[in-house]
Structure 1
């Protein structure tokens, strides 16, 4: 009788151990899958360049709002139409930035990593023309775009559009020039911060 009870207890312990091991194995497997999935999603998130997506969303949404005359125009039909415009635009945005990262290495304005490009034989604009020269070329191009927008604003017959366009782009141009003049091109962190600032300005404009 005692031997039988001992065998029963031993079988119970063995069964519990097997069940516990199975649960731990499943939990460990699930954890590994989750970690792997998280890494892949994070890699995809970084690959999409989220700051460019923000600009696309703001741009399309603001343009879509222009024809509206009152709050009552914000109907379900409008929202569905906006989503139909946003989805393909965002997919195209991801495609373009992905294509750029893979194939357009030689022509990118890679100002912070001139040394790395030079060491690996990548003839980017910064390597061929010089870091500072490329930087100011980009700034002048952006300033030209702002000046063009201000000119369009001046030629507008609507006084409110004229005021907002001219003053708004004038402020953006001033802020851009001020930040560009105070930027230290020798600091990679400063260049990265300025790069993100430009994208924020782009979203606003």
Structure 2
């Protein structure tokens, strides 16, 4: 009995040292035998105590490092906000640069268009074509086209264009109050100070070029154009000749028909080519034909402005006789001039020149007659368009003049 009890005690001691043992239940579940429960509970208590200690230490470390993390996070947020702000500023600056460039481009384009209208382009084209055509009349052969001739031609053309801008600009300065649509001074696109600056500048440029050229005929043309252009527009006693129909027509006729033909022909013949001055058939024809054409331009240009001229007391022929009568007079003068030009062309001894001058003048006369039949003088827009058509006929005539031999 004592031996049995000793054996059981020894077995219990062994189980306690080895830890819990597992035994199978009837249904296959695993359960701990009672001798090892105390050891398991002791082990679990030690693990829980260790976990609690680790948790407290991790919390302490986290609390110690959280200000640094917050600082780094704040710096990261500030850096992102700074980058976003810089990007926005760059976009705004780029947009401002684009808008500024577009505004400057539009303003420059607007000023250039205003300057183009200020120069009265139809008169500029007339001056270019007229001087070019007249400068060709003294040429006898291809050998005459040299660098010296080109230089003399360009000097005359540049001086004449600058004087042309002076004359039309001065006229606009004294006509600001008259209702003339499309002109930059009357429309407010240019200030009076700007107009005065342009007029004075181009006058100085014109005389500077003429003096530098040393050509007496060219200087004569510039001085006479200056005097007549000033007398035509300036509001002063014995001046403002545009108020009087005869004086206004005389100014335009003398400059466009006589001065341009004779002075620039003499400039090329005498000053540039160094030849004695002698009139030619083409020069006489150009002078007489352009007298008719210039008279028509001087009379017809007042038809679109008849209302403004009447309000400001300018006694143009359109105000005195009425637009319809002046219009019929202009058409009659042009058709008569074309008939005379056809006769002159038919008298030429050169077949090619005869064909060109006769057919050319006949075609221009037919075009004029066809268009003149459908014009309504009461329609100001159509009258203005027809006036520009007359300038085109004026340009075309200068292409035919060199063929009159």
- Normalising by structure 2, we get a TM-score of 0.42
CA-CA distance at 1:38 after TM superposition:
1.0
| In structure 1, C-alpha distance between the alignment counterparts of 2:124 and 2:154, rounded to whole Å | 14
Q: 1:159 aligns to what SS in structure 2?
A: coil
**Superposed counterparts of 1:1-205, under 5 Å:** 1-103=72-174, 104=233, 106=243, 109-115=301-307, 117-118=309-310, 120-125=311-316, 126-142=318-334, 153=344, 159-160=349-350, 163=354, 167=358, 169=361, 172-173=364-365, 175-177=367-369, 179-205=371-397
Classify 1:112/1:82 alpha carbon distance in 2 versus 1 (closer, same or farther; 3 Å): same
Q: 1:121-176 deviations in whole A, cap 9, x for unaligned?
A: 4445223321112223334454566577678x48x8x6349847973556545544
CA contact (8 A) 1:150 1:165 kept: no
| In structure 2, C-alpha distance between the alignment counterparts of 1:80 and 1:49, rounded to whole Å | 26
Where structure 1 has 5 or more consecutive residues not aligned to the other structure, the ranges are: none
Q: How many residues align?
A: 201
Q: Which is bigger in relative contact order (C-alpha 8 A, separation at least 6)?
A: 1
| In structure 1, C-alpha distance between the alignment counterparts of 2:100 and 2:243, rounded to whole Å | 42
Say which is worse superposed, 53-62 or 170-179, in terms of deviation: 170-179
Classify 1:99/1:159 alpha carbon distance in 2 versus 1 (closer, same or farther; 3 Å): farther
- Normalising by structure 1, we get a TM-score of 0.76
| In structure 2, C-alpha distance between the alignment counterparts of 1:36 and 1:56, rounded to whole Å | 29
CA contact (8 A) 1:110 1:124 kept: no
Classify 1:106/1:180 alpha carbon distance in 2 versus 1 (closer, same or farther; 3 Å): farther
Larger Rg: 2
Classify 1:78/1:121 alpha carbon distance in 2 versus 1 (closer, same or farther; 3 Å): closer
Indicate the RMSD between aligned Cα atoms, in angstroms. Answer: 3.3
| In structure 2, C-alpha distance between the alignment counterparts of 1:172 and 1:86, rounded to whole Å | 27
Say which is worse superposed, 28-37 or 175-184, in terms of deviation: 175-184
| In structure 2, C-alpha distance between the alignment counterparts of 1:95 and 1:147, rounded to whole Å | 35
Classify 1:95/1:149 alpha carbon distance in 2 versus 1 (closer, same or farther; 3 Å): farther
| In structure 1, C-alpha distance between the alignment counterparts of 2:98 and 2:106, rounded to whole Å | 12
Classify 1:69/1:128 alpha carbon distance in 2 versus 1 (closer, same or farther; 3 Å): closer
| In structure 2, C-alpha distance between the alignment counterparts of 1:165 and 1:106, rounded to whole Å | 41
Q: 1:35-90 deviations in whole A, cap 9, x for unaligned?
A: 11111110111121212211211111122222333445433333333222211111
Classify 1:54/1:34 alpha carbon distance in 2 versus 1 (closer, same or farther; 3 Å): same
